[in-house]
Amino acid sequence: MLNFEKDVAKIGGWLTKSEAEFLYDSAKKISMHGKIVEIGSWKGRSTICLGLGAKDGKGATVYAIDPHSGSSEQRRWFGKVDTFNEFLNNIKEAGVGKYIIPIKKTSEEAAAGFDGEADFVFVDGAHEYKYVRKDYELWFPKLTDGGLIAFHDCWHTSGVHFLTALVLLTSTNVRKPRLLDTLTIMEKVSRNSFLDRLYNIIFIVFRLLFGWIGTLKINLTGTVTK
């Protein structure tokens, strides 16, 4: 069972309680031989949620991909970083090491060596458009039909916001988008229907309004409300 305050709140990161519970619940549903891909692990906050879900569920494997040298944003904030040892210590302390395969590589390097299909993909790497697009192009084709892909920080970072809007507007392979705090979640299908595409458009309009409200909050308070 996930206890947000006990298990992950103490670990540095930007994952909300609702987002943590979504990752936990998603991982819990995936089969023993299933594969979960996490792009961007930082110090393990989201990795532990996925690992606990695998532990309490059917034993899926979490591929935690991060070069641990910081994204472009993190390097601007913190300078030179190396989070790998802290990440390893955190997942060990949480008791989920058995379910995690740490991959200290870039998303592109990891994708080249990844075999099989992913059942769930969590995208939380660098948030600039070119990097989010690259993550999508690399990993969406590896996602099984019926699998979920979730993008973090979708409404207050323009790169993630634009990429997810573009995918929902143009792709015939996604449906059932939903918003959970800063996550945009969508399901992969072999081909979506006209009604699916119409719903995708309605969702984008809704998210634009939600994003405007969220951006206003950030501008007024100077912090991201989570």
Residues (pLDDT < 70) of the chain are 70-79, 211-226
pLDDT at 226: 34
pLDDT at 156: 75
pLDDT at 223: 40
Two structure tokens written together for 112 = 């080249």
Residue 96 to residue 116: CA distance in whole angstroms: 23
Q: Where are the domains of the chain?
A: 4-221
pLDDT at 124: 96
Beta-bridge partners for 103? 65
The phi-psi region of residue 56 (left if phi > 0; otherwise alpha if psi is between -120 and 50; otherwise beta) is alpha
Residue type, 125: G
pLDDT at 217: 46
User: What global pTM score does this model have?
Assistant: 0.90
Task: Classify the C-alpha dihedral 153-156-159-163 as positive or negative.
Answer: positive
**Helix, strand, coil proportions of the chain in percent (round to 5)?**
50, 20, 35
pLDDT, one tens digit per residue, over 125-174 is 999 999 999 999 999 999 999 999 999 998 778 999 999 999 999 999 99
Q: How many helices and strands (H and E) does the chain possess?
A: 9, 7
CATH top-level class of 4-221: alpha beta
